[in-house]
């Protein structure tokens, strides 16, 4: 039988059983070449609502090509603390009522071909620049065409709600993923991408929304809140959440070492949405330690996510001050 891996967004499912994974990890980054005004003007409310989650390609049968990929959560646990929004942020009051996660989570959009509009979820995390968001690797880099999606009218819309962008549409200026992701047989343990956003009206996004803490080599099997905009719930127009204690992923092919969060009914579109530990429901603040990555046909209603390890920490170290 075929084992189906479904990216939690659209367009691509991927051939999982391929060559040996490249475990020689380094950073691949790119300065975004699309002008910011083009990106922002492109995304009208109608286009944002039309962006969909979609085509899935079946991988070949579950051939085991695993060749001892070692889990590299090999460093000390590290936490970079998130920030409160600036005192001048017009959001201050709303955030006090609803919690910071409402503003730090949003949707990303891109369109690489005429009339094909796609989206994922993403969130603002701690950074030196105040400009950094995290999402899934497959929301920034297309491993079938070997292209950065961030060149395709790619924007982030924090607190996206039903076609509206209450805190603006933020174009990308630089993107980074690991080379173990930016190749035709990507390593799903590294399905993570960081993006540095442009300023909007002279402001860094973190001034407006605040940011969530980001954690590396965090413990597994901890109470987790997973946020995202899955197309199957409210047409992806409203932020959703799954909560629970994730366990070992049922997907073990090719050395996959991520976790699975079961009893979660979010599907495509929630990709890239953050997993937070130590989440405080009253403040809406937690530590981002993974992102929604894929579902697996043999473990229904379970979302898999890679635990941020030392390699992902290196990636964050690269992007934080860019």
Q: Where on the chain is the footprint of ligand NAG (CB under 6 A)? A: 24, 26, 64, 66, 162-163, 252
* Smallest distance, ligand NAG to C-beta of residue 149, A: 23
Nearer to ligand NAG among residue 179 and residue 262 (C-beta): 179
3-state secondary structure of 44: coil
Q: Which is nearer to ligand NAG, 210 or 255 (CB)?
A: 255
Shortest spacing between CB 129 and ligand NAG, in angstroms? 26
Backbone angles phi, psi at 161, to 5 degrees: -150, 110
* Least gap, CB of 310 to ligand NAG (angstroms): 16
Q: Round to whole Å and give the CA distance between 316 and 200.
A: 22
State residue 203 phi and psi, 5-degree precision.
-120, 150
Q: Which long-range contacts (CB under 8 A, 24 or more apart) does 164-170 make?
A: 164/45, 165/43, 165/48, 167/91, 167/103, 167/208, 167/209, 168/200, 168/201, 168/208, 169/39, 169/40, 169/43, 169/200, 170/197, 170/198, 170/200, 170/205
Indicate the residue among 24 and 201 with the shorter CB distance to ligand NAG: 24
- Nearest residue (CB) to ligand NAG, 219 versus 247: 247
CB of 259 to ligand NAG, least distance (A): 18
Q: 93: exposed, middle or buried (C-beta count within 10 Å: 0-12, 13-18, 19+)?
A: exposed
CA distance 223 to 25: 30
CB of 88 to ligand NAG, least distance (A): 28
CB of 234 vs ligand NAG, minimal distance in Å = 7
Asked if 192 and 315 count as a contact pair (C-beta separation under 8 A), the reply is yes
Of 68 and 115, nearer to ligand NAG (C-beta) is: 68
- For residues 4 and 250, what is the distance between their CA atoms, to the nearest angstrom? 13
Closer to ligand NAG at the Cβ: 26 or 70?
26
Whole-angstrom distance, CA of residue 217 vs CA of residue 170:
29
Q: How far is the CB of 162 from ligand NAG (least distance, A)?
A: 4
CA distance 308 to 258: 9
CB-nearer residue toward ligand NAG: 37 or 64: 64
């Amino acid at each position: 039988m075929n084992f189906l891996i479904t990216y939690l967004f659209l367009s691509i499912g991927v051939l999982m059983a391929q060559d040996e994974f490249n475990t020689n990890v380094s950073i691949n980054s790119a300065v975004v070449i699309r002008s910011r005004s083009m990106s922002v003007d492109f995304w009208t409310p109608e286009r944002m609502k039309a962006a969909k989650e979609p085509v899935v390609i079946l991988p070949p049968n579950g051939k085991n090509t695993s060749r001892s990929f070692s889990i590299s959560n090999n460093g000390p646990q590290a936490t970079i603390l998130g920030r409160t929004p600036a005192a001048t942020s017009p959001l201050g009051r709303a955030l006090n009522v609803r919690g910071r996660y409402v503003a730090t989570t949003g949707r990303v959009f891109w369109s690489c071909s005429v009339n094909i509009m796609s989206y994922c979820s993403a969130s603002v995390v701690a950074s030196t620049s105040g400009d950094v968001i995290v999402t899934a690797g497959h929301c920034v880099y297309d491993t079938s065409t070997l292209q950065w999606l961030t060149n395709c009218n790619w924007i982030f819309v924090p607190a996206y709600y039903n076609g509206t962008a209450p805190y603006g549409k933020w174009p990308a200026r630089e993107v980074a993923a690991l080379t173990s992701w930016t190749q035709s047989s990507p390593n799903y343990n590294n399905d993570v991408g960081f993006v540095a956003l442009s300023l909007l009206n002279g402001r860094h996004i973190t001034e407006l929304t605040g940011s969530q803490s980001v954690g590396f080599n965090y413990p597994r099997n901890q109470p987790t809140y997973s946020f995202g905009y899955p197309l199957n719930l409210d047409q992806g127009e409203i932020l959703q959440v799954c909560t629970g204690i994730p366990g070992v992923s049922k997907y073990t092919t090719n050395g996959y070492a991520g976790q699975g969060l079961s009893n979660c009914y979010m599907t495509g579109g929630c990709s890239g949405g953050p997993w937070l530990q130590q989440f405080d429901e009253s403040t809406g603040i937690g530590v981002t330690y993974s992102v929604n990555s894929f579902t697996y046909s043999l473990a229904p209603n379970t979302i898999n996510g890679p635990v941020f390890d030392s390699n992902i920490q290196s990636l964050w170290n690269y992007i934080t001050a860019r």
